Each structure stands twice: as C-alpha cells, then as structure tokens.
Amino acid sequence: MKSRPLVLASIAVTVALSAPAHAQVEIHWWHSMTAVNNEWVNDLANDFNASQKDYKIVPTYKGTYDVSMTTAVAAFRAGQGPHILQVFEVGTATMMASKGAVVPVTQVMKDAGFKFDPAAYIPAVAGYYTAPNGQMLSFPLNSSTTVFYINKDAFKAAGIDTSKAPATWPEVALAAAKLKASGHKCPLTIAWQGWTQLESFSTWHNVELATKSNGLKGLDARLVANSPLHVRHIENLANMSKQGLFIYKGRANVPEASFVSGECAMITTSSGFYGNVKKNAKFDFALASLPYYPDVPGAPQNTVIGGASLWVLAGKKPAEYKGVATFFNYLSSPEVQSASHKRTGYLPITMAAFALTEKSGFYKENPGTDTAVNQMVRKVTDKSRGIRLGNYVQIRTIEDEEFENVWGGKKTAQEGLDSIVKRGNELLERFEKASKGG
Amino acid sequence: MAAEKRVTFRSPWLPWALLAPQVVIIALFFFWPAGQALLQSLQQSDAFGTSVEWVGLENFRNLWNDETYLASFVTTAVFSVLVASLGLSLSLLLAVFADRIVKGSGIYRTLLIWPYAVAPAVAGVLWLFMFAPSVGIVSYMLREGGFEWNHLLNGNHAMALIVMAAVWKQIAYNFLFFLAGLQSIPKSLIEAAAIDGAGPWRRFWTIQFPLLSPTTFFLLVINVVYVLLDTFAIVDAATSGGPGKDTSILVYKLYYDGFKALDLGGSAAQSVVLMVIVVIFTVVQFRFVEKKVNY
Amino acid sequence: MVERRPALGILAHVVLILGVLIVALPVYITFVASTHANEDIIHPPMPLTPGSHMVENYTAVLTGTQAGGGSKASVGQMMIVSLVTALVIAIGKIAISLLSAFAIVYFRFPFRMFFFWAIFVTLMLPVEVRIAPTYKVVSDLGMLNTYAGLTVPLIASATATFLFRQFFLTVPDELTEASRMDGAGPLRFFWDVLVPLSRTSIAALFVIQFIYGWNQYLWPLLVTTSEDMYPVVIGIKRMISGGDAQTEWGTVMATAMLAMIPPALVVMLMQRWFVKGLVDTEK
C-alpha cells in the first residue's frame, strides 16, 4: 500500500507528457473573471492569439481577487509569477508600494516602442491608475462605476412619475415614502455601501474622502470621511432605515439579488449590474445617475471607478514584455474596447471607444447604458480624480462593519463615521510605515 | 489505564525506518515552511516581499492594542463551545441509533455521511443560498412563519447561522468515526450484558461509552482543532464576520489579514497566538481527559 | 439488537430520519436547484420539488456548452485530476500513518514521544497560513504543476496517525504476546494481525481522506499553473460569479452534484468494509 511507486510514476508520466517548447513567446495572465466574464477573457486571448503569431497569451483563472493576489505573491517570491496580474482597484496602493515587483504600463509600452498618449483615455478611468508624475501604472481592463437603478413598474404602482428617475437624495426619500405608503416592503437598498455611499459619494460631491487628494498625492493621507456632509448623508440613510424606507440587504453585491427579484424598488450599485438586470428582471426598469444633494456646490462632479486593472510584474525577459505591450495595444484599440463594452457592460477606457460605441447606435437601443460613461468623462478635480489609500481592503471592511452598526442602531451616524476614520487612520499609518521601510 | 503498551518490540533500527516517511514529509512540507511563516510574525513587509523590515514584537503589540481583536476571543469561545458540544452530542446520538438498527442502516449511513462530501467551497455557497435574505428558501420560509430572520443586522442570528453551518459539516465527520468505533465493539460483550439483564440505557453507559472513549477522545481533540482553525471558510461565505464584528472569530481575522489584506506580519502574529491556544488546549486534553479513556 | 424492543427501534428510525432530513437538506436543495432553469431560482421562492430542466442542465455541463467555465478544461478532465489526487492522498496518508503509529505505540526508543508530538503539532497550524512558504519549497523541488506537487505536501498531516494510535492502544497485549510466542517478528505481527484488525478505522479514514483530497481548492489553485491540472472544485468556483454578472445557478448546482458522485460512491463502497470489519473483529 505504499504510495512511492505511484508518486514516481506520476512524476514520470507528467514529465513525459509535457509539451515541447513553443517557438512562440508565452505570456501568462492570471485573472479572477468568472462565469460569462471568464468566457470574455478567454475570447480576448484567443482573438489576440489568432491575430498574430509571435505571442501567445495564456489566461488562467486563479480564484477571486484576493486569492489570486496571494497566489501571485507566493509565486512571485518563488520566481514563478505571471507576466500580467489582474488586481482589483482597492489593491492599487498595495501594488504601487511594491516597487520592486511591478513595472509601470507606460514604461512597458515605451520600451516596446508603442506610442502612448494619456490624453486618449477617459480621465476618471485612467486617472485612478496614474501616478502623480503622470505615468500610468496599470492598464484598466474592467472598470465600472456607481449608478442608480429603479424598478419602473413598482414606481407606477405607487403612483410616482416614471419619466425621470429621482435625481437628488431628497427626491429619492420622497419616492421611497410614496412606495412605502403604497405597501412596498423595500423601497431602497444599497449595494457596495462603502463604494457607493462614501467613496463615490465624496467624488460625486467634490469633497475629500481623505487628505492629499484622497491619497493620490502622498502616503501621509488620512481619512476625513466624518465631515458634516458625510454625517448628514449617513444620518439620512440611518433614519430611512429606521422608518423602513431603506432596507439593508448585505455587503458587497449581495443586495443585487433583491432588486432583480423585484423585492426592492431602488438600488445604488455598479454599472456592471446592467447585463444581469436586463437578462433577468421581469419588470420595466431604468438606469440613472447616482443621486446627489443639490445644495452642495460642485455636485454632481464625477463618480469613482471600481473593477480591476492589469499590472505587469517584474523579473521577466524583454521579449516577453514586448508581447505584453502588443497585447495591451490590441486591447486599447477602439474596436476591441467597444465590443467589450457592449458585451460586458464595463466602461470603455478611451474616448475613441466611447465615440465608436455611440456611433453604432448602441446607446439608443439600450437606454441608460451611457449614463455610466457620462458620469466619467467630465474634467476631474483634485478631489475627484480617484482614491488611492493603503490597506484599503481592510478599510472597506471597516466601513461595512461600522455601517452595519449604524443601520442596526448600535451607533449613531457620527459615531460610526468617527470609528471609520479612527480605525482607518491607524491602518493608513501602518501602511505608511511599512512602505517607507523598504 | 495509561496510554502505554505493556508489551513492546525491541529493535535498533526498525522504528526509525517506520517513522521515516512521515517524518521526512513533515520536515520538508510542514516544519520548514511553518518556521518561515512564523518568522514573518516578527517582520513587516509589503505584499510582494520586496521590502522587509524587522519589527520585533510590534505586530503582537498591535494585536494587544486592538480592542476588536480582544473582543473576538469571547466570540470565538462562544462559537467553539457551541459547535463542539452540539457537533459531538448530536452525532453520537445518531451513531448510536444507526448502530442499533439492522434494516436500512446502510442507507442512513450514506445519507448522513454524504454532506461531508460537499466541498467546503461549495457548502459555503449553499448555506448562503439557503439563507440569503432574498432568494434563500429557508429565510423565505422563516419569514412566512412570522419569524423575522435577519442575520445581516442581528448578531445572534448571524452566530446561529455559522454555528449551524459548522455543526452540519462536523456531524457527518463525527458520525462516521463514532459509528466505526461502535461497530468495532465485539457483539459478545453486548450480548453478555443483555443476558445479565442490562437494558439498552445501562448497556450504553457501562459498555459502549467506555469502549468508545478512545474514539471520543480522538474526536474531541479533532473537533476543538477544527472549530478553532478550520472554520474560516464558513464565516467568510456566510457572514464575513458581520454584522459589525459579531461573528468575527479569531481564525477569520487571521485568514482575512493574511489573504485579503495581505498583512502577512499581522497574520503570522495571530497564527502564533492561535497556535499557542490550540497547543494549550490539546496538552490539557491529553493530560487530564486522556486519564479517563479506557484503552 | 439483542432483545426485542420495538419502541426503541421505532424511536431509532424516527431520530435517524429526522437527522437525515436536517443533515441532507442542503444536498437535497442542491439537487433541486440543479433541475431548474436559472430564472426560477433567482425569483423566490424556488420550488422545493425537482423541476423539468434536469436533462438540459446536466447535458450542458457534461458537454461543456454551459456559460463560463467549461472552455478550458471539461468537467470530465477535472474529475480525473480530482480522482487521482484523492486516491494518492488517501492511500499515501493511510500507509505512512499506519507505519508511524505502529512505531510509536509498539516500540521503545529514544525521542519516541518527541516524534509523536512533532507529528501531532502539524495539526495546529492550518495549511493556509503556511501556504506561501510551502509553495516555495514545492517550487524549489520542481514539483509545480505535477501530481506529486498536488499530493505529497498534503500527506503531511497527523489525523490518521493519531487515530491509529488510539486504535492500536486498544488492541489487547495478549495478541502481541501470542504472536511473539509463535515466533513472529514485529513486521509479521503488524501485517498479519494489526492491519486486519484496523479495518474499520482504515475504512473510515479512507472515506475522510478521499473526500479531503477530492475537495481541495486552495492548494491546487496555487500549485498548478495550467488549467488542465485543475481539480473539479476550482471548476465549480470559477462558475460562481463574484461580480455583478449573473451566476447560472442551475448549471453550477448540476456540476456540484456531479462532483459529489465519486465521494458518495466511495462512501457506499466503504460500507462493505465496515460490515466485513464487523464480522472479523471478534477479538
């Protein structure tokens, strides 16, 4: 019953079965796309591989974003890392701080001889992944932003005018009250609460979430998310929760299921949710901009993106980097961008792609799908360009935890936000220290 | 009876040869990596390890100063006691009854062990599926029955959910071993006691339970280790430690910091603490509980 | 059992049925979900009885035409990887643990208890914590993306050794003496007496370790670099959308059901060994 012969046999078989080396340069791309997006990624790779003979992109699903990042870290430390790694937006600061491990995209493109024009990219999208000196660090692949969906049938049943979705928070509260009065059990819910109600909320109203331009300008940024405006908004939501106008349905994107099933009538969440709603909702719905407070100067400004970008890891050969650059060039062509945008609902990253999609009449056929892009093409300010804070995965969780305390009535809005700022700043301090030490 | 054999073999080389395979494997694939992992508790580094800084006990000090970490000791204690006691008692009950009946025992056995075959990765999703606030069947039924189930905002509901999920998995595991243990008790002993006039209740306590004690001890140790170290996936899938921090058990924070937040130093420090706790528990069990085991 | 106690017999059945209902409920729900179309599942309540889409869902999964996931490696391929991994881990673990437990229980030698505790302590630091350095060791040994890399590091744990130690301690000394008097050496005793006696434990452990190996997710994800060495659990996870795209629950559940079949078969086959062990353990 010894396993030794079996183990040796397996090794022998595996060695015998390994294919001979290709003349093509193989480029490994680790990603976290699942379900239909998994197919999209594979198609992108297949189409690129078919279009030329020098390079072969090999995409591999490596678990969810956090798992794949840990996997890549372990592999990198052992010298076995991939060339391209898809990292979620909240991991940006972490990646940036790992100076010896990443190669900025601008550099990769330049070294390979490609022209790289930052102005061609949609400001709020590319800005998020750009260093203070203008260098683009990673390649935005799948970006989405925060938008607002409403269930038009539920609105009609409550006697609310559906020609225009509620544009401001006071209007939202009014609509919610009417829905509740007509017997609706869940007028409003919120997905990705940290992202929609704190981060995007801040940039949308042109107020700072954290100092130093939300961290873009330095590691010594600190959270200021407990400003009077923030407290006012969270207090409003907390009151709505007490009155049964806003029902908390979970963290991340879990609440989306309640919208699709018709249970909740309004939801703030990602623009990427559109495909899901279109396919599965059995009611008439509309996609609109995120609500805002009309009395705040500068609102609405622009929202902040979510999603992920592609980072290039260090330690590979120049020929391989050329392949990466070629692939990125392929991905940024307007045709590929436009097709991806239409297929997945993710934002196009170049103005040219946006224009192409508009010309094709896509937005007319699918009303509301250009809302997300329109929120992003405005000229950004220092307070709205993007957010880059270290240890942000943990800070997002702190936001979730403290919000739950507020919705559950354990803390007031002021207390909750103060906790977020206090706990978050501790983490930011530690991140600053850890990054300086290297 | 002590945990030693009276009759043993003597050989200068054989025991070493027998031990060698396991020792080599654990030296290579456990001790060496574990040492490195624990070393990280004294360091602070960026995710990719390109800048590593020696910080001594600072990671431990950060833990000590974090009030949410200290609170999670209590949460963990509550969770562990519930899961271990429910898991062991329920499965013992089922095993005893399954051992008793002759007809249909095979079917019962398969059906009761099958949940163990559900991959943890899938099981977490299943529980979420059943209890999801909107599409979940169980939540729906509870609501129809008038019970306002809301594990999203009610800490007790959330704790109940993860206890259920953890116990569910362990029942299958414990059941399997209890049944194996019960079935290796010679029938002759039971029959002899029955002839002497002992009823099933007496027989259980005087014969089966004592003879089952090696298995029970095994399961006790394993269950404690399981609940302290392996329940991360359940919490991650079902409640993410929420609402607030109400279901944030020690091991959850450990994995979260190591895997999601990529704070390897902090995560390693927590592993050291957790490992010390587990070792203490185990030593206590061996010292005091094993005395009562009949071999 | 021994005397006729019909009331107790009925109670036993009632308790067991209740137990089965509670314990098997999630599995049942998985099955029901795998027979419905996706729309029915996401609009609650999902009906509790099997639906009409069973053939559709299962064919889609087996032929790889379902959305998102089957493009690289088919379910069949992944099941083979899982099967080999599970078998190697189960057999490997049982083999080396039998030897180690035998050495520790039946021999006196210096550092005996030290080795027991050294083996035992491997239970106390979970895999995920030491996974990155373990990966480096595996990579340095050139075992990445091989069956060896998938299995050997997982054979390191101590559950089996502990269980066998417990069992061996219950084996009466008379048997050892009798074997000695027959002139048998330790290995003879081990092979002819101890191993057959340990049947039920081996069977139980085989089930557990097979399922453990079958359900591996994190380690294979790390240690394989090509998707055709992926075991089936990764395939399932890959279909569950973490983002905003719709998860095709019907086909996901169908895959999960298929993935549960080999472990279930193992459980059923091991029943035979349980019974056989029953008959033979008249000590």
Instruction: Give the CATH class of B66-292.
Output: mainly alpha
Least confident of A59-73, A221-235, B233-247, C266-280: C266-280
Q: Classify strands A55-61 and A25-31 as parallel, antiparallel or unpaired.
A: parallel
Pull the structure tokens for residue A404: 């739950």
* Nearest-angstrom CA–CA distance, B270 and B261: 14
pLDDT band at C67 (very low <50, low <70, confident <90, very high): very low
* Nearest-angstrom CA–CA distance, B151 and B194: 49
Nearest-neighbour CA in chain B from A368: distance (Å): 26
How many Å is the Cα radius of gyration of chain B?
23
Nearest to A373 by CA among A195, A124, A113: A124
CB-count exposure of residue C82 (10 Å: 0-12, 13-18, 19+): buried
* Nearest-angstrom CA–CA distance, B212 and B174: 12
Nearest-neighbour CA in chain A from B132: distance (Å): 8
* Nearest-angstrom CA–CA distance, C185 and C100: 17
- B45 membership: H or E segment, kind and range: strand B43-45
- Give me the pLDDT at residue C279, please: 46
- Give me the pLDDT at residue A172, please: 94
Largest CA distance in chain C: 73
Residues of C within 8 A of A38 (CB-CB) are 68-69, 71, 238-239
* Nearest-angstrom CA–CA distance, A60 and C73: 11
- Cβ contact, residue pair A61, C245, below 8 Å: no
Q: For helices B155-183 and B105-117, give the axis angle rounded to 10 degrees.
A: 130
- Cβ contact, residue pair B19, C104, below 8 Å: yes
Q: Interface of chain A against chain B, CB under 8 Å? A: 66-67, 69-70, 73, 76-77, 94-95, 97-101, 248-251, 254-255, 257-258, 261, 263, 391, 393-394, 397, 400-402, 404-405, 407-408, 410, 430, 433-435, 437-438
- Give me the pLDDT at residue A10, please: 55
- Give me the pLDDT at residue A21, please: 44
Nearest chain A residue to C252 by CA distance is: A35
Q: For helices A228-242 and A392-407, give the axis angle rounded to 10 degrees.
A: 50
CATH topology of domain A145-304+385-436: D-Maltodextrin-Binding Protein; domain 2 (3.40.190)
Q: Let me know: does B221 contact B84? Beta carbons within 8 Å.
A: no
Q: Where are the domains of chain C?
A: 68-280
> pLDDT per residue over C31-63, tens digit each?
888 888 777 776 766 677 777 777 777 877 776
If contacts are CB pairs under 8 Å, which of residues 147-166 in chain B contact chain A? 152-154
* Nearest-angstrom CA–CA distance, C59 and C62: 5
How far, rounded to the nearest angstrom, does the alpha carbon of residue A217 sit from its chain's CA centroid?
Answer: 21
Residues of C within 8 A of A67 (CB-CB) are 218, 221
Residue A120: CB atoms within 10 A of its CB come to: 15
The predicted model scores a pTM of 0.83
- Give me the pLDDT at residue C66, please: 46
- Give me the pLDDT at residue A352, please: 92
- Give me the pLDDT at residue B204, please: 83
Q: Let me know: does A103 contact A314? Beta carbons within 8 Å.
A: yes
- Cβ contact, residue pair C126, B251, below 8 Å: yes
Q: How close are the terminal C-alpha atoms of chain A, in Å?
A: 51
SS (H, E, C) B172-195: HHHHHHHHHHHHCCCHHHHHHHHH
Nearest-neighbour CA in chain A from B106: distance (Å): 27
- Give me the pLDDT at residue A5, please: 62
CB-count exposure of residue C50 (10 Å: 0-12, 13-18, 19+): middle
Mean pLDDT over the full length of chain B: 83
Q: Residue B221: helix, strand or coil by DSSP?
A: helix
- Give me the pLDDT at residue B3, please: 63
Residues of A within 8 A of B154 (CB-CB) are 408
Q: For helices C249-280 and C54-63, give the axis angle rounded to 10 degrees.
A: 90
Tell me if chain C has a CB within 8 Å of the CB of B262.
no
Nearest-neighbour CA in chain B from C133: distance (Å): 5
Geometric angle at alpha carbon B9, from B8 and B12, rounded to 5°: 135
- Cβ contact, residue pair B115, C282, below 8 Å: no
Among the partner-chain residues B53, B135, B259, the one whose CB lies closest to the CB of A438 is B53
- Most C-contacting residue of B36, B122, B295 (CB-CB within 10 A), to test interface: B122
- Give me the pLDDT at residue A14, please: 52
Q: For helices B209-229 and B264-284, give the axis angle rounded to 10 degrees.
A: 170
Which of 3.40.640.10, 3.30.750.24, 3.40.50.800, 1.10.3720.10 would CATH assign to domain C68-280?
1.10.3720.10
pLDDT band at B148 (very low <50, low <70, confident <90, very high): confident
- Cβ contact, residue pair A37, C68, below 8 Å: yes
The secondary structure of C138-202 as a DSSP string is: HHHTT-TTSHHHHHGGGGG-SHHHHHHHHHHHHS-HHHHHHHHHTT--HHHHIIIIIHHHTHHHH
Pull the structure tokens for residue B189: 């002993």
* Nearest-angstrom CA–CA distance, C263 and C267: 6
Q: Where are the domains of chain B?
A: 66-292
Q: Residue C12: helix, strand or coil by DSSP?
A: helix
If contacts are CB pairs under 8 Å, which of residues 12-41 in chain A contact chain C? 13-14, 28, 32-39
Highest-confidence segment of B201-205, B284-288, C224-228, C256-260: B284-288
Pull the structure tokens for residue A341: 């945008």
Mean pLDDT over C68-89 rounds to 75
Residues lower than pLDDT 50 in chain A = 1-2, 16, 18-22, 438
CB-count exposure of residue A54 (10 Å: 0-12, 13-18, 19+): exposed
- Cβ contact, residue pair C241, A270, below 8 Å: no
Among the partner-chain residues B9, B29, B214, the one whose CB lies closest to the CB of C156 is B29
Residues of C within 8 A of B251 (CB-CB) are 126
Mean pLDDT over C204-213 rounds to 88
pLDDT band at B123 (very low <50, low <70, confident <90, very high): confident
- Cβ contact, residue pair A80, C44, below 8 Å: no
- Give me the pLDDT at residue C131, please: 80
Q: Do domains A22-143+306-376 and A145-304+385-436 have the same CATH topology?
A: yes
More confident residue, A163 or C1: A163
The full length of chain A comes to 438
Least confident of B16-25, B30-39, B128-137, C11-20: B128-137
The full length of chain B comes to 295
Nearest-neighbour CA in chain A from C237: distance (Å): 8
> pLDDT per residue over B82-95, tens digit each?
999 999 999 998 88
Mean pLDDT over B5-26 rounds to 85
Mean pLDDT over the full length of chain C: 80
- Cβ contact, residue pair A10, C146, below 8 Å: yes
Architecture of domain A22-143+306-376: 3-Layer(aba) Sandwich (3.40)
Among the partner-chain residues B48, B133, B257, the one whose CB lies closest to the CB of A101 is B48
If contacts are CB pairs under 8 Å, which of residues 60-99 in chain A contact chain C? 60-65, 67, 70-71, 73-75, 77-80
In the predicted model, is pLDDT for residue C280 greater than 60? no
* Nearest-angstrom CA–CA distance, B167 and C205: 20
> pLDDT per residue over B26-61, tens digit each?
998 889 888 888 888 888 877 777 777 888 888 898
- Most C-contacting residue of A30, A32, A38, A43 (CB-CB within 10 A), to test interface: A38
- Cβ contact, residue pair A254, B243, below 8 Å: no
- Give me the pLDDT at residue A357, please: 92
Q: Give alpha helix (H) positions in chain C.
A: 6-33, 38-42, 54-63, 75-106, 112-120, 131-140, 147-151, 159-170, 173-181, 186-189, 195-197, 199-214, 218-223, 232-239, 249-280
Point out which residues pair with B43 in neighbouring strands.
Answer: B54
- Cβ contact, residue pair A397, B132, below 8 Å: no
Calculate the alpha carbon distances from A161 to A42, A167, A171, A175, A438 in Å: 44, 13, 12, 9, 58
* Nearest-angstrom CA–CA distance, C168 and C281: 13
CB-count exposure of residue B188 (10 Å: 0-12, 13-18, 19+): exposed
SS (H, E, C) chain A: CCCHHHHHHHHHHHHHHCCCCCCCEEEEEEECCCHHHHHHHHHHHHHHHHHCCCEEEEEEECCCHHHHHHHHHHHHHCCCCCCEEEEEHHHHHHHHHCCCCEECHHHHHHHCCCCCCHHHECHHHHHHCECCCCCECCEEEEEEEEEEEEEHHHHHHCCCCCCCCCCEHHHHHHHHHHHHHCCCCEEEEECCHHHHHHHHHHHHCCCCCEHHHHCCCCCCCCECCCCHHHHHHHHHHHHHHHCCCECCCCCCCCCHHHHHCCCEEEEEEEHHHHHHHHHHCCCCEEEECCCECCCCCCCCCCCCEEEEEEEEECCCCHHHHHHHHHHHHHHHCHHHHHHHHHHHCCCCCEHHHHHHHHHCCHHHHCCCCCHHHHHHCCCCCCCCCCCCCCCHHHHHHHHHHHHHHHHCCCCCHHHHHHHHHHHHHHHHHHHHHHHHCC
Nearest chain A residue to B260 by CA distance is: A66
- Cβ contact, residue pair B52, A438, below 8 Å: yes
- Cβ contact, residue pair A77, C132, below 8 Å: yes
Q: Where are the domains of chain A?
A: 22-143+306-376, 145-304+385-436
- Cβ contact, residue pair B48, A401, below 8 Å: no
* Nearest-angstrom CA–CA distance, A354 and A341: 9
Nearest-neighbour CA in chain B from C187: distance (Å): 9
* Nearest-angstrom CA–CA distance, A282 and C187: 71
* Nearest-angstrom CA–CA distance, A420 and A284: 38
In the predicted model, is pLDDT for residue C139 greater than 50? yes
How far, rounded to the nearest angstrom, does the alpha carbon of residue A207 sit from its chain's CA centroid?
Answer: 20
Tell me if chain A has a CB within 8 Å of the CB of B65.
no
- Give me the pLDDT at residue A405, please: 93
Can the peptide bond before residue A170 be classed as cis, meaning omega within 30 degrees of 0? no
Among the partner-chain residues B50, B245, B260, the one whose CB lies closest to the CB of A438 is B50
